[in-house]
Structure 1
């Protein structure tokens, strides 16, 4: 059995796993310079956290006041909360209460790798990729502005909200090689793809291996620190409330409640709308348990640090890496690798046992060493887990679940206007999707019209 030169320390006084350096991979000499140009233009619109909220069509029932409960403080929940506050008319007395027993980013959102781009593993632009990318960048800008106003003690220990050094995807599968090359020609202007050879790739990431002498570089793709981002997004929502109050509109309010909601009926009577954004934990809600066409998948992410005996740090300007595993750089001597896929898991704990972590390393490290042999110099210091809510597979693709769920909650036709709503099934693309889906849902809730949502996102109800 192959061993690796790494040390794993999950708990104090835990025995070490000691493992040999991976075999060196020979250099390639072929040079590839694929000239490509964008076939899609990216929207340049942006949202500033300092601009006043824009008006949105609001159902007449809610013209004076509106109370909304948001279940879940992850990507979807905080996105829809911010969009409700930013899109509602300034005159509307809007109260948004967020319920999450584990707090901001306490679920799968907080364990996300943070690598964001609008492409599939075959570097094909995803469905509605342009809208998703644009809205993600808008929210990221809003969060960055708010993050800069936070005190240092409120930041995660990393101290960053985003790393803007791009993402590199080495080609590793001959079966999809030509398809990927063709797909890479059709990219968004706002997130270009450069097809490069191993020589060029190693200028970006020293010692990188590209098995097929080709890599796809996305210089505008980003690596987000999920916890810092989510905290900043909540702060941005609070900033809207403060800003409106400062100009005489004191009716807006947002509050986070660390409370577990196991039945929508617990909160339903108090609110004009309830939006469920619980991810895989939606099955814990009595009215929705076993009803939604979601699949659960538990993923484990390993945390690594460069061993003190090595001075060759991960270059400050080098991109993160996507392959059969991903490598998300947190700093010159800190990175995350992931992720495993345990389908059907009901284990919602973020804690990882030593045995489970050992199994994870056996899966992740060999794949990582194939493209980044220097991983043998890094020490594994811990691991975290999160359960994703994966969307159903359909003949048209896999789409998140949006829409009014009055029929599911009430057991029959609801009275107008629509009251209960769902954002679910974001899967492994929560960061990419959440901005656009939060915006769509906020518009639908405020206008009490599911017709504003794309049919692909509500087709799961048929």
Structure 2
């Protein structure tokens, strides 16, 4: 059993590589609840940023496995802009860190045999790739979007530019594309990510890192649900709760977080071999009222629906729910890509997202220490943390915010987090 006092590895007044020197330091143990975007990012950064002279063990808890929740069935369209084209809050940092984690995952996947990937962790994803770098196209569908996108194209992120293109250029990328205002916006640096393959590869990178440490660090996947987080209080130096929508169902957190749940259905469409033509091999994915995440010349994901206040977090979709999703999404998709009407339904998956409140900076995730919120007995120890409310932008936010909260946990210092991410505690009269 660990000490009741926090054992901080990094002084918050020094660099992340500096550590507090304590003789005969026992190994530290951290628990990460949830194996989605947030949880695996936190686990990676705890291992990566832990001082090299310190022994560290990280247990990742998830009753289903890697990518078993909403993260694993997300659309995987990666870019740093809002639907209206505005650069998101700290978009540059988020974009940079996400690209770094993608590189880490791709390296791990390339160096590992197929047998090294976790088997049976969750239902298989639709696609067979990890990252598809073909860009994203956003048709201008109304005057407001055209104005906003044009303005933001002039002030876009250098690492992910927004190009304004005309109808001919857009149809060279995607033949038969419909452009109501004869204009579109092309993000050549944007990409599709297969979320399950990415998360499995990033977890493999965590295991590789632990193996290379020659016993100094260790990471374990524990397939078990935690109903009461306080049952871990005596076992770990810190617990980071990254359970997405399931945060709302934890007894000690129910009704205490400003989160709303939203179930989204993503459909899988295929073009039958008997149908002439196909989606262009190098064609970008499409962002519109319904998005099309291209998996290949004859495979597309289409999404997503929004069912607010749902409590159904099962990835399985009934025939009735799938029919309703198609009825809602197909007209929106065919308005910009009429050829989608030739494609056939091949399956559907769903996820329950945790949507945060809207702030002056947009919809931002919730981070922070929650010791007093859940009634932890070791007052002031910064033992329990939350990282949730990634909403529909978990893929973009998870890298940078996972890095920030990992450092805060290592330092036992919540003040290292941007105040925009912890202000929800003040708004809800929660103090730590």
Q: Could you say which residue in structure 1 is the equivalent of 2:196?
A: 227
Q: Could you say which residue in structure 2 is the equivalent of 1:455?
A: 419
CA distance in 1, matches of 2:21, 2:72: 37
**Equivalent of 1:143, from 87, 100, 105?**
105
Q: Could you say which residue in structure 2 is the equivalent of 1:92?
A: 54
CA drift at 1:63: 5.4
Q: Could you say which residue in structure 2 is the equivalent of 1:193?
A: 162
CA drift at 1:57: 4.5
Counterpart of 1:302 in 2: which secondary structure? strand
Check whether the contact 2:89–2:361 (CA below 8 A) recurs between aligned residues.
no
After TM superposition, the structure 1 stretch with the greater mean CA deviation from structure 2, 55-64 or 312-321, is: 55-64
Q: Could you say which residue in structure 1 is the equivalent of 2:402?
A: 438
Check whether the contact 2:356–2:366 (CA below 8 A) recurs between aligned residues.
yes
Q: Could you say which residue in structure 2 is the equivalent of 1:213?
A: 182
CA distance in 1, matches of 2:287, 2:21: 48
Check whether the contact 1:328–1:335 (CA below 8 A) recurs between aligned residues.
yes
With normalisation by structure 1, the TM-score equals 0.85
Check whether the contact 1:426–1:433 (CA below 8 A) recurs between aligned residues.
yes
Q: Within the alignment, does 1:406 sit opposite 2:389 as a pair?
A: no
CA drift at 1:144: 0.5
CA distance in 2, matches of 1:58, 1:441: 17
Check whether the contact 1:347–1:387 (CA below 8 A) recurs between aligned residues.
yes
Q: Could you say which residue in structure 2 is the equivalent of 1:236?
A: 205
Q: Could you say which residue in structure 2 is the equivalent of 1:279?
A: 244
Check whether the contact 2:76–2:193 (CA below 8 A) recurs between aligned residues.
yes
**Equivalent of 1:177, from 146, 153, 176?**
146
Gaps of 5+ in 2: 1-14, 119-123, 427-432
CA drift at 1:184: 1.5
Change (3 A) 1:396 1:124: closer
Check whether the contact 1:237–1:254 (CA below 8 A) recurs between aligned residues.
yes
Check whether the contact 1:124–1:186 (CA below 8 A) recurs between aligned residues.
no
Check whether the contact 1:94–1:251 (CA below 8 A) recurs between aligned residues.
yes
**Map 1:44-83 → 2, pairs under 5 A:** 56-58=17-19, 64-83=26-45
CA distance in 1, matches of 2:176, 2:316: 33
Counterpart of 1:288 in 2: which secondary structure? coil
Count of aligned pairs:
404
CA drift at 1:334: 0.8
Q: Could you say which residue in structure 2 is the equivalent of 1:40?
A: none
Q: Could you say which residue in structure 2 is the equivalent of 1:37?
A: none
Q: Could you say which residue in structure 2 is the equivalent of 1:316?
A: 281
Counterpart of 1:241 in 2: which secondary structure? helix
CA drift at 1:308: 2.1
Check whether the contact 2:86–2:148 (CA below 8 A) recurs between aligned residues.
no
Check whether the contact 2:372–2:379 (CA below 8 A) recurs between aligned residues.
no
Q: Could you say which residue in structure 2 is the equivalent of 1:44?
A: none
CA drift at 1:243: 1.1
Q: Could you say which residue in structure 2 is the equivalent of 1:336?
A: 301
Root mean square deviation, CA, Å:
1.7
**Equivalent of 1:105, from 67, 70, 73?**
67
With normalisation by structure 2, the TM-score equals 0.90
**Map 1:362-377 → 2, pairs under 5 A:** 362-377=327-342
Counterpart of 1:287 in 2: which secondary structure? coil
Q: Within the alignment, does 1:288 sit opposite 2:253 as a pair?
A: yes
CA deviations 1:390-439 (Å, max 9, x no partner) are 11123443211001111112268x53431110101100000000000100
